Amino acid sequence: MTDAEDFLAWVKSALYEAERALHDGDATPRRALWSRNEPVSILGAWRNAYGREEIEEAFAALEKAFSNCTSYSFELQAYDVAGAMAYTAGLEHVSTSVDGQPRSYTLRATQVYRREDGGWKVAHRHADTVTE
């Protein structure tokens, strides 16, 4: 398997499962996929976070807000792997409950990854809500 094929398989399995779990109220799989090495950052649809401490606070808030995910899909539009770095860009289509209220929305999401200890870790996320 090439580096790109290996990365894409990870995106479609572990990363997908972590995002689905987050929208069901469990950030544990997402935490496991994020880098422990600085710098890490989120420019989020809900909030921004810089550094591990703020990232953890953001995950805890999302975990508390989300529940009952009925649908999650990631429409990958672009990706590349260059040595120990990679990125994805695509659309996240989500149906979940936010603070107990059912919601459906689409986010534009771009993420940057670093290869660490033989696996991929998220180092940066930028997402915003698609509006018509």
Peptide bond into 39 cis (omega under 30): yes
The tens digit of pLDDT for each residue in 52-93 reads: 999 999 999 999 999 999 999 999 999 999 999 999 999 999
pTM of the full structure: 0.95
Q: Is the pLDDT at 7 greater than 90, yes or no?
A: yes
Q: Of the candidates 37, 25, 89, 20, which has an alpha carbon nearest to the alpha carbon of residue 63? A: 25
Predicted pLDDT of residue 1: 82
Mean pLDDT of the chain: 96
Is residue 56 within a helix (H) or strand (E), and if so which, with residue range?
helix 52-65
Domains and CATH numbers, the chain: 3-129 (3.10.450.50)
Confidence (pLDDT) at 46? 85
